[in-house]
């Protein structure tokens, strides 16, 4: 190789190698600091693009899961209130049966009636408070439902039935099987015959209530299962994204150590390459 002071090819090669090593260090340090082997499109356009699509899918799954969890909460509140209504009706039936005894005095019947009315008037309050996030599944209208999102593309939905458990002002004739609340909002225990009729109405209303709560419970279970499925699906998508873009930090740390060693060797190579021009000066030095 010719010796020249204008072009030091060895030094140029050493500088290029040093620059390449520095770029490698920068890339590895970026992967270590972000924890990602593809934090942007420059790090791998295809991998980054697919990961971004799947991140959008994971976000959509999160939105669907939130909708379903909200539906489950609405159903839970309604079922809890329904259970309270069932307990109230059982107590009302007990009072009505006791007041239907023709042998008790009017005073005793009046005491049972006072308890009956107090329980009856609790029903409206229980139903009014059975609301979650603006949705009340117990206050009607009957034969309607509340629809919730159940897919990321909006093609699937799940419904919760709306029950009408309010006490009518003028209850209809008791039917079998029970198909309505047959207890009136003004029902009272004034006579033995009146109390017997109230007892049968409370019993039929209780049958209807329990039947409706079973229907709501079945719909709630379906929503709970769907929410669990979407939660697992979101976890799987998130894990898949991690496999694509997460950096292996143990491997990257070893790479960084190797590159830093190469940095030191590149510096030494540049130092050696720069000794050639000095050697020429030594030849020209006056002894």
Confidence of residue 86 (pLDDT cuts 50, 70, 90): very high
Tokens of 148: 């919730």
Average pLDDT over residues 268-287: 67
Asked if pLDDT for residue 82 goes beyond 60, the answer is yes
Higher local confidence (pLDDT), 170 or 37:
170
Q: Are residues 27 and 115 in the same domain?
A: no
d(Cα 206, Cα 180) in Å, to the nearest integer? 10
Q: For the beta carbon of residue 283, count every other beta carbon within 10 angstroms.
A: 7
Helix (H) or strand (E) holding 140: strand 139-149
- HSE of 3 in the Cβ direction (CA atoms, 13 Å)? 11
Q: Are residues 188 and 252 in the same domain?
A: no
| 3 occurs within a structural domain | no
Domains contained in the chain, number: 2
Q: Are residues 236 and 253 in the same domain?
A: no
pLDDT at 221: 96
Asked if pLDDT for residue 258 goes beyond 80, the answer is yes
- HSE of 86 in the Cβ direction (CA atoms, 13 Å)? 14
| 263 occurs within a structural domain | yes
d(Cα 130, Cα 142) in Å, to the nearest integer? 16
Phi, psi of 107 (to 5 degrees): -65, -45
Q: Are residues 210 and 97 in the same domain?
A: yes
Helices (H), 105-191: 106-128
| 140 occurs within a structural domain | yes
Range of the domain at 252: 9-35+247-284
| 221 occurs within a structural domain | yes
| 214 occurs within a structural domain | yes
pTM: 0.74
Confidence of residue 281 (pLDDT cuts 50, 70, 90): low
Asked if pLDDT for residue 203 goes beyond 80, the answer is yes
């Amino acid at each position: 190789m010719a010796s020249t002071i204008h072009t030091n090819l060895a030094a140029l090669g050493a500088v290029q190698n040093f620059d390449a090593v520095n770029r490698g260090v920068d890339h590895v340090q970026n992967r270590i600091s972000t924890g990602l082997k593809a934090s942007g499109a420059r790090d791998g356009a295809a991998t980054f693009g697919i990961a971004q699509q799947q991140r959008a899918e994971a976000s959509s799954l999160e939105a669907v899961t939130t909708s379903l969890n909200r539906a489950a909460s609405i159903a839970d509140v309604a079922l809890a209130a329904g259970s309270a209504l069932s307990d109230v009706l059982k107590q009302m039936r007990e009072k009505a049966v006791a007041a239907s005894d023709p042998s008790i005095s009017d005073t005793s019947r009046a005491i049972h009636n006072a308890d009956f009315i107090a329980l009856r008037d609790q029903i409206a309050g229980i139903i009014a408070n059975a609301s979650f996030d603006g949705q009340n599944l117990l206050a009607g209208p009957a034969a309607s439902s509340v629809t919730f999102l159940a897919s990321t593309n909006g093609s699937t939905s799940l419904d919760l039935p709306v029950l009408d458990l309010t006490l009518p002002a003028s209850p209809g004739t008791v039917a079998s099987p029970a198909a309505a609340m047959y207890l009136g909002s003004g029902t009272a225990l004034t006579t033995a015959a009146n109390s017997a009729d109230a007892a049968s109405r409370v019993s039929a209303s209780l049958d209807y209530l329990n039947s409706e709560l079973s229907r709501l419970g079945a719909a709630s279970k379906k929503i709970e299962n769907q929410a669990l499925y979407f939660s697992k699906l979101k976890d799987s998508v998130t894990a898949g994204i991690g496999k694509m873009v997460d950096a292996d930090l143990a491997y990257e740390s070893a790479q960084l150590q190797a590159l830093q060693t190469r940095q030191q060797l590149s510096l030494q190579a540049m130092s050696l390459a720069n000794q050639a021009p000095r050697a020429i000066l030594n030849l020209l030095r006056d002894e």
